[in-house]
Amino acid sequence: MISKRNVRLASLGAIILALVISGAFGIQQLSVTRANQSASQATTVYTQRFLTLYNKIKNPTNGYFSSLGIPYHSVETLIVEAPDYGHETTSETFSFWIWLEATYGEVTGNWQPFINAWQTMDKYMIPSHADQPTNSGYNPNSPAQYAPESPNITDYPTQLDSSVAVGQDPLYNELVQTYGTSDIYGMPWLLDTDNWYGYGHCGDGTTKPSFINSYQRGSSESVWKTVVHPECETFTWGSSNGTGFLSLFNKPAPGGSYSQQWRYTDAPDADARTVQAAFWAYTWATAQGQQSTIAPEIAEAAKLGDYLRYGMYDKYFKTMGCQSPSCPAGTGKNSATYLLDWYYAWGGALPSAGSWAWRIGASAAHQGYQNPLAAWALSSVPALEPKSPTAPSDWATSLQRQLQFYQWLQSAEGAIAGGATNSWNGQYGTPPAGDPTFYGMSYDWEPVYHDPPSNNWFGFQAWSMERVAEYYYETGNTTAKSILDKWVAWAKSVTTVNSNGTYSIPSTLNWSGQPSQNWTSSSTPVTNSNLHVTVVDKTSDVGVTAALAKTLLFYAAKSGDTASRTLAQTLLDDMWNDYSDSIGISNPETRTDYNQFNDSVYIPAGWTGKNAQGATLNSSTTFITERPKYLQDPNWSKVQAYLNGGAAPTFNYHRFWAQADIAMAMADVDILFPSSSGTPTPTATATTPTATSTPTATPSPTPRPTVTPTATPSPTPRPTVTPTATPSPTPSPTPVSGASCRVQYVITGQWPGGFGATINITNTGSTAINGWTLKFTFPNGQTVSQGWNGSFSQQGSTVTVTNLSYNGSIPPGTTLSNAPGFNGTWTGTNSPPTSFTLNGVPCSTS
Q: Under a CB-based contact definition with an 8 Å cutoff, are residues 133 and 64 in contact? A: no
Q: Which amino acid is at 571?
A: L
Q: Which residues pair with 534 in a beta bridge?
A: 510
What would the DSSP string read from start to end of 752-790? Answer: TTEEEEEEEEEE-SSS-EES-EEEEE-SS--EEEEEESS
From CA 457, how far away is CA 731, in angstroms rounded? 25
Q: What is the 3-state secondary structure (H, E, C) of 477-524?
A: CHHHHHHHHHHHHHHHHCCEECCCCCEEEEEEEEEECCCCCCECCCCC
Q: Which residues pair with 416 in a beta bridge?
A: 410
Catalytic-role residue among 101, 169, 269, 589? 269
Q: Under a CB-based contact definition with an 8 Å cutoff, are residues 277 and 373 in contact? A: no
The Cβ-side half-sphere exposure at 313, using a 13 Å CA radius, reads 29
From CA 208, how far away is CA 464, in angstroms rounded? 33
From CA 428, how far away is CA 445, in angstroms rounded? 17
Torsion sign, CA atoms 831, 832, 837, 839: positive
Q: Under a CB-based contact definition with an 8 Å cutoff, are residues 217 and 726 in contact? A: yes
Q: Cα-flanking dihedrals φ and ψ of residue 298, to 5°?
A: -65, -40
What H or E segment, with its residue span, contains residue 728?
none
What would the DSSP string read from start to end of 165-177? Answer: -----SSHHHHHH
∠ CA(106), CA(108), CA(110), 5° rounding?
Answer: 90
| 194 catalytic per annotation | no
For 343, 490, 603, the CA distances from 404, given in Å and listed in that order, are 21, 20, 42
User: How crowded is residue 193: how many other Cβ atoms within 10 Å of its Cβ?
Assistant: 23
Q: Report which of 553, 593, 585, 743 is spatially closest to residue 662, judged by C-alpha positions.
A: 585
Q: Which amino acid is at 426?
A: G
Q: Under a CB-based contact definition with an 8 Å cutoff, are residues 470 and 370 in contact? A: no
From CA 451, how far away is CA 807, in angstroms rounded? 10
| 341 catalytic per annotation | no
What H or E segment, with its residue span, contains residue 467?
helix 458-475
Query: What 3-state class would DSSP assign to 332?
Result: coil
Residues 6+ apart with CB under 8 A from 266: 91, 184, 186, 187, 188, 189, 308, 310, 311, 343, 344, 345, 714
For 477, 486, 520, the CA distances from 481, given in Å and listed in that order, are 6, 9, 22
Catalytic-role residue among 76, 84, 88, 92? 92
Q: Which residues are catalytic?
A: 92, 269
